[in-house]
Amino acid sequence: MTPAGAGTARENGAGKTAPATDGPILRIDDLVVELPGPHGTRTRVVDGVSFDVPRATTVGLIGESGSGKTMTAHAVLGLPPEGATLSGRLLWHGEDLLAADPARRRAVRGREIAMIFQDPLAALNPTQRIARQIGEVPRRDRLPRAEVNRRVVELLDRVGVPEPERRMRAYPHELSGGLRQRAMIAMALAGSPALLLADEPTTALDVTVQSRILRLLADIQAADGLAMLLVSHDLRVVSHVGERVVVMYAGRVCERGPARDVLRRPAHPYTAALVRSVPAVRTRTALADPLPGAPATPANRPAGCAFHPRCPMARARCRAEVPEVREVAPGRWSACHFAEEVPGS
Amino acid sequence: MIRMIVHRLLIGVFVMWGAASLIFLVVRAAPGDPATVLLGPDATRSQLDQLHASLGLDRPLGAQYLSYLGDVCRLDFGESHWLGRPAMGAVLDRLPATIDLTVTATVIAVIVGLTLGMLAGARPGGLLDRVVSACTIALQSFPTFWIGIMLVLVFALTLRLLPSSGVGSPQHLVLPAVTLSFPFVAIIARLTRTSLAETMRESYIQTARSKGLTERQVLFGHALRNSLIPVVTVVGVQVGALVGGAVIVENVFAWPGLGSLVVEAVANRDYTVVQGATLLIAGIVVVLNLMADLLVAQLDPRIRTGAV
Ligand SMILES: Nc1ncnc2c1ncn2[C@@H]1O[C@H](COP(=O)(O)OP(=O)(O)O)[C@@H](O)[C@H]1O
Ligand code: SF4
Ligand SMILES: [Mg+2]
C-alpha cells in the first residue's frame, strides 16, 4: 500500500512494502512544476524534486531565493500558480495527492496540511478580525459558535498571544508583527493538521522576534508530534530547528540528509558554499564568505550541473552531465559527481 | 472616526463655498442681461435701470457677492423674477422628479455594474471577462444623449414598448433612467472587475484557499467585500457626474426635474434659480460623498481605526 522504504532515510527501498504507519507522512517523488514562460515556452521551476517528510519530524528546505522552495511547498498544498503543470507523485500517507480530485485536495488543505505564510500582514485578511479568520475552519466544519470561540481563545493562548479574549477581536493591522505571525500560526493549527508547511515564517519579522517564533514552532511541533516542512533561505533558521535538511538549487535538490551532518560536513559544493556564507554556523571561520556569482534561474538553467558556473570544483563532466541524487554515505544524499571530494565531507 | 467626519464636513463647507462662488461668477459672466430678457427688447433705458436697481444688479460685483453669500448662509436664495416666487420653492418642486430619475439610474447602475464586474473579475481573462470588457468600453465611448436617442428610436418609435418622453407612469421612467445609468454601469463594472481581479491576487486570498475553502467561499467570504472598497469611493465621487448627466437626460426626455429647470432658468437669465438649484445639487453631492466615506470606513477597519 505504501511504497515506503524501511527507514525514513532509505527512500529507494524498491520492492519493500511497509504499513502506512511506518512510512514517511509525505513523500515527494520526482516532482516537476512547469510554468508558462515567454513565447509559449515552459519553465521548469521545480525539476524532479524528491524527498520525504517523516512523521513528527521537522525538515528544513533551504536554498537561495528563486530556487523553487515556495513552489514546492505550494505544490504540496495544491495551490500552484495559474497555468502551472505538475507531474510526479505527492504521496500523503501513501495516497497520491497529484492524482486526487479537487474536492479531496480541498479537504486535505487546512485540515491535514496547513500553511504558514511569509508575510503575516499580507496573508491575513485586513477587513476581518483575527478571531473570524482563525475560527474559519472550525466554523466551516459546523462547530457551534461558542465552541469556535473557545477554540480560538485556546489556540491564541497556545501560540503565546497575551490576553487572547481581547486580542481575538483585533484586526491584523492592530497587532505587532510578532503577534500577527502568532495569529497566523494559530490559524494554521485550527484545523488540527498533521503537516505544517512554514514558508519563511520569520523572514518578515524583527530579528528579536524571529528566534521566539522559531522556538514556538519547534515547541508546537514537538508537543503535537507534527511533521513540519520549514522553508527558509536562511541556513541559521533551519540549523536551529531542522532535524533533516534538503538543499535546493535552481529547482533541483542538491543535497539532503540529517541536518547536523549536512551542515557540518557538506557533501555538495553548494551546501559548503552556503555554510561558509554564514558566520554563525561555522565558528571556526571568523568571517563570512559570501557566495560568488548570481544564482542560476530555472528559466536559463546551465546545462549539466546547474551549479557549475559557480562551483570551485567544476570540471568537464559537470558541464555535460546532470548529476543524479545518489546516496554518498548512509543516509546522506548528494547531487554532485564528485561528492566524495567536497572538502570537509 | 469622529475626526474623519468633522474633517469631511469642513471640506464639505469649503466645497459649498466654492460652488456658491463659482456659480455666482459663471451666471454673471454669461452673455445676456436678466432685465432685457424680462422686459423684452423694447424696454427703455430708465426701465432697465429701474429693474437693475430692484434686482440689486446696479451695485458693484463685490458688494453683490457679499450680500449673496450672506443670504445663502441664512438659506435665503432670493426671489425668482422670472417665476415670481421664491427661487428655492421652484427648485424644491422639481427635486422629486430628479430624485426619482437619479435614484433609479443609480440602482440600475449598481446592480448591473456590480454583477457584470463580479462575473468578469472572478475569472480575469475568461470569456465573460472579454465580453463584459468589450461592452463596457462601447458603453463608455458613446455620449449619453446619443444613447438616449438610440433607445428612443428602438424602444419607443420602432417597438412601441415604452413612451419616448414626459411623465405620468413608471414606464415613463424606464428610458431616461436606463440612459442615465449606462455610463455608470460601465464605470462600476470596469472598476469592480479591476478591483476584484486585483483582490484575487492578494496573499490573503491564497491563505483562504489554504484553509480548504471552495472558490465560491473564497469569493464571497474574503474577496468581494474588500474589492468593493475602491468601488464605493469612486461611486461616491461619480454621483456628481450622475447629476450632470441628469441635466442632459432630462432635456432629451422632457423630464420635469432640476436639470430641465436649470436649462429654462438659464434661457431666462434667472440667476436666483440657477444659483439655488446648483447649491442644492452641490449640497446633495457633498452629503452623498460623506455617506460614501462612511460606507468605506464601514467596509475597511483600517480607515475606521485611523490606521491609514
Ligand atoms: N507566480 C509565478 N509565475 C512565474 N514564475 C514564478 C512565479 N513565482 C515564482 N516564479 C519563479 O519560479 C522560481 C521559483 O520560485 P520560488 O519557488 O518562489 O523560489 P523560492 O521560494 O526558493 O525563493 C523562481 O525562478 C521564480 O522566478
Ligand atoms: S557536479 Fe560538478 S559543478 Fe556540480 S557541484 Fe559537483 S563538482 Fe560542482
Ligand atoms: Mg520563497
* pLDDT tens digits for range B54-63: 777 888 888 8
- Nearest by CB to A79, from B206, B302, B307: name it: B206
Residues A73-113 have pLDDT tens digits of 999 999 999 899 999 999 999 999 999 999 999 999 999 99
Provide, as residue numbers in chain B, all residues whose Cβ is less than 8 Å from the Cβ of A125. 204, 207-208, 222, 226
In-domain check, residue A253: yes
The values of phi and psi at residue A310, to 5°, are -110, 0
Q: What rounded mean pLDDT belongs to chain B?
A: 87
In-domain check, residue A175: no
Q: Is A328's C-beta closer than 6 angstroms to any atom of ligand 2?
A: no
pLDDT beyond 80 at B37: no
Number of domains composing chain A:
1
**Atom from ligand 1 closest to the CA of residue A248:** 22
Question: B228, A127 in Cβ contact below 8 A?
Answer: no
- Choosing from A32, A34, A35, A248 the residue with most ligand 1 atoms within 8 A of its CB, the one to mutate for a pocket test is A35
Q: Can you give the C-alpha Rg of chain A in angstroms?
A: 20
pLDDT beyond 70 at A13: no
Q: C-alpha cell of B205?
A: 486570498
Q: Which of A6-15, A202-211, A229-238, B235-244 has the lowest mean pLDDT?
A: A6-15
**Exposed/middle/buried for A270, CB within 10 Å: 0-12, 13-18, 19+?**
buried
Interface check for B207 against chain A (CB to CB < 8 A): the answer is yes
In-domain check, residue A167: no
CATH value at residue A18 = 3.40.50.300
Quick one: pLDDT band at residue A7, thresholds 50, 70, 90?
Answer: very low
Residues A292-323 have pLDDT tens digits of 888 998 888 999 999 999 999 999 999 999 99
Alpha helices in chain B (DSSP H): 2-29, 34-39, 45-55, 61-73, 87-122, 127-141, 144-151, 170-200, 203-210, 215-218, 224-252, 258-267, 271-299, 301-304
How many angstroms separate the Cα of A229 from the Cα of each of A197, A331, A341?
Answer: 5, 19, 30
* Model pLDDT, residue B308: 54
In-domain check, residue A158: no
Number of Cβ within 10 Å of residue A56's Cβ equals 14
In-domain check, residue A168: no
Q: C-alpha cell of A130?
A: 483575527
Question: A270, A254 in Cβ contact below 8 A?
Answer: yes
Q: Please state the three-class secondary structure of B241-297 as a single string.
A: HHHHHHHHHHHHCCCCCHHHHHHHHHHCCCHHHHHHHHHHHHHHHHHHHHHHHHHHH
What domains are there in chain B, each with its CATH number?
2-80 (no CATH), 94-269 (1.10.3720.10)
Contacting residues for A24 by C-beta, under 8 A, at least 6 apart = A4, A8, A52, A53, A54, A55
Quick one: pLDDT band at residue A289, thresholds 50, 70, 90?
Answer: confident
Q: Do A122 and B209 touch (CB under 8 A)?
A: no
Residues A17-50 have pLDDT tens digits of 444 456 899 999 999 999 998 888 899 999 999 9
Q: Please state the three-class secondary structure of A290-337 as a single string.
A: CCCCCCCCHHHCCCCCCCHHHCCCCCHHHHHCCCCCEEEECCEEECCC
* Model pLDDT, residue B237: 81
Q: Do B305 and A111 touch (CB under 8 A)?
A: no
DSSP secondary structure code for residue B51 in this structure: H
Tell me the count of A-B CB pairs closer than 8 A: 74
Provide, as residue numbers in chain A, all residues whose Cβ is less than 8 Å from the Cβ of B302. 126, 171, 173
Instruction: Classify the C-alpha dihedral B261-B265-B267-B271 as positive or negative.
Output: negative
pLDDT beyond 80 at A266: yes
Residues B95-128 have pLDDT tens digits of 999 999 999 999 999 999 999 999 998 888 888 8
pLDDT beyond 90 at A5: no
Domain containing A106: what range?
4-112+193-341
In-domain check, residue A118: no
The bridge status of strand B79-80 relative to strand B85-86 is antiparallel
Provide, as residue numbers in chain A, all residues whose Cβ is less than 8 Å from the Cβ of B1. none
* Model pLDDT, residue A16: 38
Cα B139 to Cα B28: distance, rounded to the nearest angstrom: 36
Average pLDDT estimate for B19-36:
83
- Nearest by CB to A111, from B212, B221, B302: name it: B212
Per-chain residues with Cβ under 5 A from ion ligand 3? A 70
Q: C-alpha cell of A112?
A: 491535514
Q: Do B203 and A108 touch (CB under 8 A)?
A: no
Average pLDDT estimate for B224-228:
93
